Structure 1
Amino acid sequence: MSESVNHLLAELHAERLRTWTPEALKVNVDQRQRLVDEADPERFISAGDIVDPFTLLKVEGGSLSLEQLVSKGPAVLVFFRYAGCPACNIAIPYYERNLLPALKRRGVPLVAISPQVPERLKEIKDKHALTLHVASDKDNALGQRFGILYSFDEPSRQASLAKGPGIGALTGTGTWELPQPTVVVIGRDRRVHFAQVSPDWLVRSEAQPIIDAVDAALDADSLLIRHAWA
């Protein structure tokens, strides 16, 4: 059986059930449930949307533009919260193991994106020796455009402040906003071929549906090229 990111995340939750205090667990579960209950798919990026130009900051320096990413075919964007997020430290390495090899064979770039400032975001790339792109979405600009941001509720804010200066200081953004885990496949024509938003950050897109969407985008590219030469 192939590895499942949601099985790995369920194991994380099971560990928390065993080890966290009921009060801490309630804050986490209630915030995730509230995001599920209040999710408005009409706001989210969706298949068929056209993506306007954007630029991301690579953690090792330099930038990545939409034009660069889709110059030869589709690209895959994976939004995550921040480098120290436990669920993200399961999900992003999962994509490195289970998604990146298939994308490399197809010549398709994979970018993991967080609003965290590059110098702090680099931690997750170094920790897991990631070879996929890790990039910062400065000021949550692309997350805002894609309609995928959420803000901490009051109990989550208080829990964050009890551990230190708050999430905005940890990420370097100075805000309480983070992206909901999201996967977007953008074609060479800048059209979205696949978009999946997970309001509950302990639920994430599995690799195979993403690979299938990439193959569909590649087929669409081939069709366009054939028509152009016909």
Structure 2
Amino acid sequence: MKQIPAFTRTIASQVDGYRPEFEARVGPELAAVFAREQEDLRRAGLPAGIARVGDRLPDAVLHDAAGRAVTLSTVLDAAAAIIVFYRGSWCPYCSIALKTYQRELRPVVEAFGTRLIAVSPQAPDVAARGGRQAGLHFELYSDDGNALAAHLGIVTTPSAESLLAREALGIDVAGSNMDSTAAIPFPTVVVADATGTIRLIDVRVDYTTRTETYEIIDALVAL
């Protein structure tokens, strides 16, 4: 029997604890911009054309931390996989989620023999630097032009107002991406079996919410 660790803090609870700190740091005007962005995303809901459970993963080309092109099938190497799509290392909610997945999923990945990777549209050097700053140890891959994310139907572009607000904070979304556009994926977790068939795809239009660890583990147990 594989031992599943117990978890004490959900991502949602960590975000709730972080939110007042974030709002105090950026100030009320920028906080209001981001609040409007999140409300607009929730109101718009999930886009049409998102991949479904039972679909096969495309064999898209990714780039590793050294900038080398590699196919997704090579990365996964016929193993079950957890693929985490994140917006970029500039996103604090992504950092909370990735750190949680690293802490809580690494022992599970070892127990199940599962691959755990994170994918963003950022340039490899930008993603690698962000990973080091966050203390991440699992593999980060770059999705040039959101090619893989587009196959899954999970690409979006932040509003002009929110991009200006991020620029005011020193964040250049387009400048950090491989294709120099501001397109990013919705935060998404995909669990695929060893054949590359999707068994879980959880897309979060509100980027302050994330797939909880127990949801990922439930999908792994069901494989």
Which region of structure 1 is more displaced relative to structure 2, 84-93 or 190-199? 84-93
Distance in 2 separating the partners of 1:194 and 1:19: 35
Report the equivalent of 2:222: 216
Distance in 2 separating the partners of 1:172 and 1:50: 25
Report the equivalent of 2:143: 137
The code of the aligned residue for 2:113 comes to: G
TM superposition shift of 1:161: 3.7
TM superposition shift of 1:163: 4.3
Report the equivalent of 1:21: 27
Distance 1:84 1:72, change over 3 A: same
1:152 counterpart = 2:173:
no
- Give the 3-state SS of the residue equivalent to 1:87 in structure 2: helix
- Using the size of structure 2 for normalisation, the TM-score is 0.88
Q: Is the 8 A contact 1:58 1:135 kept in 2?
A: yes
Q: Is the 8 A contact 1:78 1:113 kept in 2?
A: yes
Q: Is the 8 A contact 1:89 1:124 kept in 2?
A: no
Report the equivalent of 2:13: 7
Distance in 1 separating the partners of 2:180 and 2:68: 23
Report the equivalent of 1:221: none
Distance 1:53 1:27, change over 3 A: same
Distance in 1 separating the partners of 2:161 and 2:134: 31
Distance 1:52 1:192, change over 3 A: same
Q: Deviations for 1:164-204, whole angstroms, at most 9, x for unmatched residues?
A: 58420133431121111100011122210001011111100
1:110 counterpart = 2:116:
yes
**Runs of 5+ consecutive residues of structure 1 not aligned to the other structure:** 218-230
**Runs of 5+ consecutive residues of structure 2 not aligned to the other structure:** 1-6
Out of 37, 42, 51, the position equivalent to 1:45 is 51
The code of the aligned residue for 1:86 comes to: P
Distance in 2 separating the partners of 1:153 and 1:172: 19
The code of the aligned residue for 1:88 comes to: C
Out of 122, 128, 134, the position equivalent to 1:122 is 128
The code of the aligned residue for 2:201 comes to: A
- Using the size of structure 1 for normalisation, the TM-score is 0.86
- Give the 3-state SS of the residue equivalent to 1:3 in structure 2: coil
Q: Is the 8 A contact 2:187 2:210 kept in 1?
A: yes
Q: Highest Rg: 1 or 2?
A: 1
Q: Deviations for 1:195-220, whole angstroms, at most 9, x for unmatched residues?
A: 10111111001111111111222xxx
**What value does the CA root-mean-square deviation take over the aligned residues?**
2.0
TM superposition shift of 1:69: 4.1
